[in-house]
Amino acid sequence: MPSASNVPPWDVHRLPRAEGRTVLVTGGNAGIGYFVAEQLAGTGAVVVLGSRNPVRAEAAVRAVRSRVPDARLRTVRLDLADPSSLRASVEALGLERLDAVVHNAGVALDRPPRQETRAGDELMFGTNHLGHFALTHWLMPLLSAAPAGRVVTMGSFAAKSERLDLDDLQSRHDYRTKRTYGRSKLAQMYFGLELERRLRAASSTVTSVVVHPGGALDSLTPSRPPVHVRTGPAWARSLPAGLFLQGKHAGAWPAVRAVLDPAVRGGQLWGPRVLRLRGRPRAEPVWQQLTDTDCAARLWDAGRELTGVDPGRYLSGVSRGGEPV
């Protein structure tokens, strides 16, 4: 496969066609996930919007179709805060194969108190990381059935300054909303890279890529009513920030490229070009803390214990009836 430096420049406004491919976007009803779905819909791919709120999902479908009239869209109810529901959600897809999944959905709390999922996990860690960990387990047969399935995990620049505390993954002893959010996204990024190592060890056709959106603000994001409406005053106030940051439509670019570009390789980290905060997508060096393979393996083991599933088990051929066990 050619390296990213040997292919023609990527044009975010002229994406390659992707008819015949199906992509699931978690959290595709709002924010960056919405723009990932909109941009992929313009390529002719079938885009499945995963959302825990069917009403908001349908609103997002209408918004996409107002921009891409011939968009091929579906929705599926997906509650990442309830891992026990995810098998049924994947079965509801009714697919024989899945070409890519974008693990985008996430919870970001602004203030205490600490909250928990139905499974008793801290809400941000449980949703952002454990939910996607479990979802990958159930999706792996579909991804493996595609010619070149791809898992794209959406991290966050907020994770760059964080370090995981493997003895306090649930933030029971040190709960601060911004820190806990950053650590939950860091855990996602660790997962994406560890998944790639396990995929390669199993000689799988599936690859795993990690991306981040840089600094993406609502106030710099174009309106997509009713999903998002930008006001004139908010836009004007955000203009100085636009020198360094960008809107969520641009924050979607690394994930879209990771889905579509065959030159993107497993185990890479993609983000914005300018100061890692804004601009067109490019591959960047994997952050130093993410190179800790021992931490990644221990986090994987914790994910297995907390969710009761293992995305890597299917890769080892331990299955019944074509499904991971």
According to the 3-state scheme, what is the secondary structure of 80-120? CCCHHHHHHHHHHHCCCCCCEEEECCCCCCCCCCCCECCCC
Q: Checking DSSP bridges between strand 207-211 and strand 269-274, what pairing results, if any?
A: parallel
**DSSP secondary structure, 5-46, as one string:** GGSPPP-TTSPPP-TT-EEEEETTTSHHHHHHHHHHHTTT-E
Q: Say which of 34, 175, 181, 314 is annotated catalytic.
A: 181
Please give the Cα distance from 88 to 140 (Å, whole number).
14
Is residue 181 among the annotated active site residues? Answer: yes
Please give the Cα distance from 193 to 290 (Å, whole number).
8
Catalytic residues: 181
